[in-house]
Structure 1
Amino acid sequence: MSRNQAGSDVERTFTISQRALELMKSYGSSATPRSYEVWYTYVAGHKPALNDAVKRIAAENGKIDEGDIDALHTEYISSDRFTEEAEKTGAVVISEIDQVMEMLDMALGSTQKYGESLDAFAADLNSGVDRSRVREIVSSLVLATKDVRATNTTLEARLRETRGEIDTLRETLEAVRMESLTDPLTGIANRKHFEEMLVKSLDQALVERSPLALVVIDIDHFKRFNDTYGHLTGDQVLRLVGMTMREQVKSKATLARFGGEEFGIILPDTTLENARAAAERVRTSVMSRELIKRSTGESLGKVTISVGVSAMRKGDTAVSLLERADQCMFFAKRNGRNRTIADADSEFQKEHGAGMTEVA
């Protein structure tokens, strides 16, 4: 990295820092390290879903208080559990390696001693020895061979045991990692995984010069389901949408629930037209299903969703791509719900044009 590049990067961090502090003050956030981390991440734009959540809270409440900051940090930034498991697993692996190294040292020592015995035997034979001395040397070699065999057998067993331990630890760590990336209610990816894959997919599309599309889904009148029928029914609605997404989108897409009733589909190597077709399959499939209350068999009617679709444009970032899909989804809600709007649709273009505005 050149000196000019380094200076530019440092200047950028100070610019981000200054803007973060301005926003903390503007939205009534306290000047704590956690608050600063949330706002710095927001300004830097590394976590698109965090930016989206901040804008929603700011739009609804006009401020972002300590409770909001804690919730944002826990949901979007903190990865304590996975880090703790990784550290714990690392410590166990290191302990296992130390024990194996001790066994190897023993085996090497035994092998060295065995080699010395062979050298001594060869020297005695070359110097001429009587029959009784040969018997003594052979007896010593037999004992040394037994010792080496026993040591090697013990080492082999210990290595097998260690391999099993490490395999188990790896499986545990992978399970925890997957848990940290999965929404427990719907079984699809959570916000953390969604953010990571959106950035990764965008970078890959830029390198490969391939298309990339994003679908954002919001359940219509979800609060009414919760208020009328309770949270268990609300959970059933969320599972229904997640299940339908899995059924209708079979490509190498990333399916995620990244908000309360919000879902996203990242579609690599997919044009806007194909993404819109996939979104429509999900929307019509959700609408075609009747929701039944399990406890009573009562029909709760139909569930509908509003869907926004955006396709990567020149100069897009993960944040701008998500914002455009989000605005399409809100446009769908404002214009009757239960519909799919893409960022190339003429009706959307009339209202928004090519430029996107930033809330904060």
Structure 2
Amino acid sequence: MPKSRTSSADCTNTYIKLFEMFDKAGVPPETRWRSLLLFFREMKDYHYLDQDQKIALLAQMEDILKSKHYTEEHLVSTIRRCSEIFSKPIVKQLDSMVHETASVIDQFFSKLSSRYGDISHLESESMAIVAESADSTMMLEKLQSAFHRVKVLFEEDICTLENLAFIDPLTEVSNRLSLDLFMKNASGRWLADRHPVAIALFDIDHFKDFNDTFGHLIGDQVLKVVGSHLKRAREEFDAQTEAMAGRFGGDEFSLMASGPDAHQMARVINRFCSAIKNFNLLIRDTEGNVVKNNLHITVSAGIAVLDSNTPQVQTIEQLFERSDKALYHAKHNARSRAVVIKPNDKFLILDEENDVSI
């Protein structure tokens, strides 16, 4: 009980000092202004904000304290600017998804248009065969050959359309739809047979700065490199374990595993992070000449496992949230490395010396 009273007193003293600071800064006692400034002050603890968002919001707080324009209009405009800052990454991701979707639709209609031409050609070819062939056996063979050719083209189209639906066209790893379906199936296997599930989430460190420096075309090459390494990492799981490498969008990737070998996820991702870190990235001009050499990128990863040792985790959604927490810890405490969230909810930072199974 004394400890609780002490904590309560400390909290009260903190807020008294804050309100005294607000009084000195001329902040009116109107609740909304003070609540907004308190939000700005505590935002370092909000893991859902990236560094750019925090910098932009800090600039908003400085502007408020310097201008001392505590009007209703300024409050409304400040909240509107904050909303824009919050939504900017989402809008950017949606824009990227829209462009990728538009590309898929264009490819679909291109295939459809091509097949309309093939069907029209098949019709005229069939009529010509019937008109010129006196021998019924020969006529049937020619018709079968013509129809078989179009059938093969349609089968190829089905494979292409499946790829368009489930494969990320840039990196050639699975897309978000595939990852969502994998998580749904993994959830079923866990509930039915208690097969362990592991999820690793990761993104490329300082990818925005890299894009701004070298351009989006080079950034796309980086995404392809990461996708290529991730596909190789997927193959490290045994045959009894289902694994999927995928891209959620932007520079956000995932590796998922469901089965007895899922506990090897930490080892697999640790080696993957090292392989990316040691990869020598070349930048070439339009003629193929190397214009910049020895560039390196890194990734930060968060890993979580659902098994009998984690009774506090009941669903795949909770597992995903734990992976996200581990990724957040990695980005703020262990850049270029992987972090495992353990069954006791503590974080383990991996490196080449502690390559472990979990």
Deviations 1:157-181 (A, max 9, x none): 3233222211211112211321332
Q: CA deviation at 1:193?
A: 2.1
* Equivalent residue, structure 1, for 2:273: 283
Distance 1:80 1:330, change over 3 A: same
Contact 2:197–2:305 (8 Å) recurs in 1: yes
Structure 2 match to 1:259: 249
**1:96, 1:162 within 8 Å by CA — same for their partners in 2?**
no
Deviation, structure 1 residue 87: 7.9
> Which amino acid in 1 is paired with 2:282?
I
Match of 2:200 in 1: 215
Whether the 8 Å contact between 1:212 and 1:311 is mirrored in structure 2 is yes
Matches within 5 A, 1:98-109: none
Deviation at 1:260, TM superposition (A): 0.9
Deviation of 1:196 (Å): 2.3
**1:204 maps to what in 2?**
189
TM-score, normalised via structure 1 length: 0.55
For the residue of structure 2 that corresponds to 1:293, the secondary structure is: strand
Give 1:329's aligned residue. Answer: 327
> Structure 1 residues 237 and 248, CA, compared in 2 at 3 Å: closer, same or farther?
same
Deviation, structure 1 residue 291? 2.8
> Is 1:338 matched up with 2:336?
yes
- 1:298 maps to 293
- For the structure 1 residues 287 and 170, does the alpha-carbon distance in structure 2 shift closer, same or farther, using more than 3 Å as the test? same
Of 131, 137, 143 in structure 2, the residue corresponding to residue 158 of structure 1 is: 143
Shift of 1:155: 3.2
8 Å Cα contact 1:93/1:166 also seen in 2: no
User: 1:239–1:82: structure 2 CA closer, same or farther, 3 Å change rule?
Assistant: closer
1:61 is the counterpart of 2:61: no
In the TM superposition, residue 91 of structure 1 has moved relative to its aligned partner by 8.6
Segments of structure 2 that go 5 or more residues without pairing to the other structure are 1-47, 54-81, 285-289, 349-358
**Structure-2 separation of matches of 1:85 and 1:320:** 41
Distance 1:97 1:208, change over 3 A: farther
Could you tell me which of 298, 307, 318 is aligned with 2:301?
307
Conserved? CA contact 1:218–1:307, under 8 Å: yes
Distance 1:231 1:90 in 2: 34
Structure 1 counterpart of 2:275, which letter? Answer: S
Query: What residue number does 2:232 align with?
Result: 247
| In structure 1, distance between residues paired with 2:200 and 2:303 | 5
Larger Rg: 1
How far, CA to CA, are the matches of 2:345 and 2:153 in structure 1? 55
Q: TM-score, length-normalised on structure 2?
A: 0.56
How far, CA to CA, are the matches of 1:224 and 1:64 in structure 2?
16
Distance of aligned partners of 1:62 and 1:222 in 2 relative to their CA distance in 1, 3 Å threshold:
closer
CA distance in 2 between partners of 1:76 and 1:206 (Å): 35
Does the CA contact (< 8 Å) of 1:271 and 1:311 recur in 2? no
The worse-fitting range, judged by mean Cα deviation, of 305-314 and 209-218 is 305-314
**Percent of aligned positions with the same letter in both sequences?**
24
Q: Is the 8 A contact 2:327 2:339 kept in 1?
A: yes
- Relative to 1, partners in 2 of residues 1:348 and 1:85: Cα closer, same or farther, differing over 3 Å? farther
- The residue type paired with residue 219 of structure 1 is I
Root-mean-square deviation (CA, aligned residues, Å) is 4.4
Give the number of aligned pairs. Answer: 252
- TM-superposed CA distance for 1:195, in Å, is 2.1
